[in-house]
Structure 1
């Protein structure tokens, strides 16, 4: 686990749903975005998702963005997309995407043990990075109060 401030400049599409379904909904929605990748100027190859945090146990639905990190500030986004700037203090970890659920749980536990207070008003961020053998690595950024 690492701690630090990070800036994200993103072009993304917004959607919402039930937290329990994010595991299947988000990748499906990301494929819609990727079919329009040529419309995004100054894009990097890094895919990103920003999630509403689950604030309390009875908080069942939230919204999220899927997108690409862009290399510059943009004045306008393609139709149906938004430009998002997120600057925040985070604790972060990374690992294989197949371990995503466990990585989230470990990060939450470590952050709590280290005494970090979660910022429930900021998005949880995940970035996705292809690695060998068709695997994918995910980096998770959990927002905290500085």
Structure 2
């Protein structure tokens, strides 16, 4: 698992959710399923699923919002009801691996960030993209926003 720094742009159509950070692990997949049931309503989408997470800014920041959606190839002019178009473009550090190892991937990326002297950008979304692999295994790529 290799960590690296990248400049990346994401164009996303998704549905917004809100809740306790401690419930994101359960709530995000539920919203993603609702969203995927309506994916045919979105024009020019790719097959790449994506989630965007409001970062936890401090210990007392207990609730936040998130999005479950799909990457799109170009800016969305018309968005289906109940969905939003979001664009994010900035510097990230990233790591990719099996979704079953998501916790250790986040830990490894955070450790690498500290070792490399990167400072988190807590004003931008933490992003995860999901990639189907062989044998019903899925890879996740984590993008942690950093200050340039």
On whether the aligned pair clears a TM of 0.5, the verdict is: yes
Partner of 1:40 in structure 2? 42
Partner of 1:133 in structure 2? 135
Question: Which of these residues, 117, 130, 135, is aligned with residue 115 of structure 1?
Answer: 117
CA distance in 2, matches of 1:102, 1:20: 17
SS across alignment from 1:21: helix
CA distance in 2, matches of 1:91, 1:66: 21
Partner of 2:15 in structure 1? 13
- In the TM superposition, residue 139 of structure 1 has moved relative to its aligned partner by 0.1
- In the TM superposition, residue 28 of structure 1 has moved relative to its aligned partner by 0.8
Q: Please show how residues 1-146 of structure 1 align to structure 2 within 5 Å.
A: 1-146=3-148
- In the TM superposition, residue 36 of structure 1 has moved relative to its aligned partner by 0.2
TM-score, normalised via structure 2 length: 0.97
CA distance in 2, matches of 1:16, 1:108: 24
SS across alignment from 1:23: helix
- In the TM superposition, residue 133 of structure 1 has moved relative to its aligned partner by 0.7
CA distance in 2, matches of 1:110, 1:136: 23
| Root mean square deviation of aligned Cα | 0.6
- In the TM superposition, residue 124 of structure 1 has moved relative to its aligned partner by 0.2
CA offset digits 1:97-133 (Å, max 9, x no partner):
0111111111111101110010000000000000011
CA distance in 2, matches of 1:98, 1:57: 26
- In the TM superposition, residue 59 of structure 1 has moved relative to its aligned partner by 1.2
Number of matched pairs = 146
